[in-house]
Structure 1
Amino acid sequence: MRVCIHRGAAEIGGNVVEVEHERARVVLDLGLPLAAALDGESLPRTIGGLLKPDNSLLGVVITHGHPDHYGLIGQVDPEIPVYVGAATARILAEAAFFTPMGARIQPTGLLADRTPFELGPFKITPFLVDHSAFDAYALLVEAGGRRLFYSGDLRGHGRKHGLFERLITNPPPPPT
């Protein structure tokens, strides 16, 4: 399993992470950089298959409903599978009436706390986390005997701080 951080490592926001295993790929978040103008940013050109589907890109997983994690999803070809929390999809659809930052995502699959799903060679397990965005998830991505825990955004002091404590006391299980 190989990981490429396209955005979000040297800046705040704009998270875009690509995970590849055996020529299959998944993208974690497609965020708009916080410093970007609403209409002036485009998808990273280094990620193939977002504008025109190809067989290697299996989907995009959005961790939560803040633009620095989903803000570029509207530029993705609608045939690309998108996975997101059910509440996040509803909130973004309702927000589309009020702001250009809303999004009408037609999810292929819905994230659910600690409920793994398979996407090609990847096993992805969402973990509900405390964050200012409702329905936020961290993701455990497993493939080829390797594991990546992508935190998305989380905190331990908010309204749902118990989720952080649960993650610490009951972390992802070790590989089998």
Structure 2
Amino acid sequence: MKKLWLSGLLAILIIAAVGCGQKPEASPQGNDSSSSIQDPVAASPDSNGGGDNAGQGQNGQSGITDPGTSEQLQADITVYFTDNDIMDLKPVERAITYTDANDKYETAFKALQMADEGLISLWDKVELNALDFSKGQLVIDITLPPEARLGAGGESLAIEALKKTMFQFDEVDSIEVTVDGEQLESLMGHVDLDHPIAR
């Protein structure tokens, strides 16, 4: 009777040990698989410097389509070019797509750099370093390589093209143009440059 009781107790202990042994093994496997899925999501906000929403936006399918549907905006704008005579400005209608105010002005500036066939952009060789809009003022920092410099007529038209393009946005009251972070008396050496250029 004692042997039977001891055998039963031993069997119960073995079953309990096997059962307990399997649970810890199953649990880490579950944790490993879930952490391998969650790690990219957890890492994404750290790499982007954003919060939870930024991580979701980068990884999930909804995150890819959300910027396109909820934040993507469109506008019809006018940009200004000149012809081979460089005597006057020619307006050209463009449709732009943007996500926020800074992106809108940057996209408009880039549109100003891409002339239609038969026209010349007065800003195509200019390098845009930074652009920021705050409290009605648009600050544009550029680099002017030698090939971007124009004569007096071209410089005057370039400034006018920039003004007409950016002042079509009602919220822009002034434009501050700097070259490599510096306020210059003249953009290209021929025409006075106001700081800022007022509407």
Question: TM-score per shorter chain, which class?
Answer: under 0.3
Larger Rg: 2
**Greater percentage in helix:** 2
TM-score (norm 1): 0.24
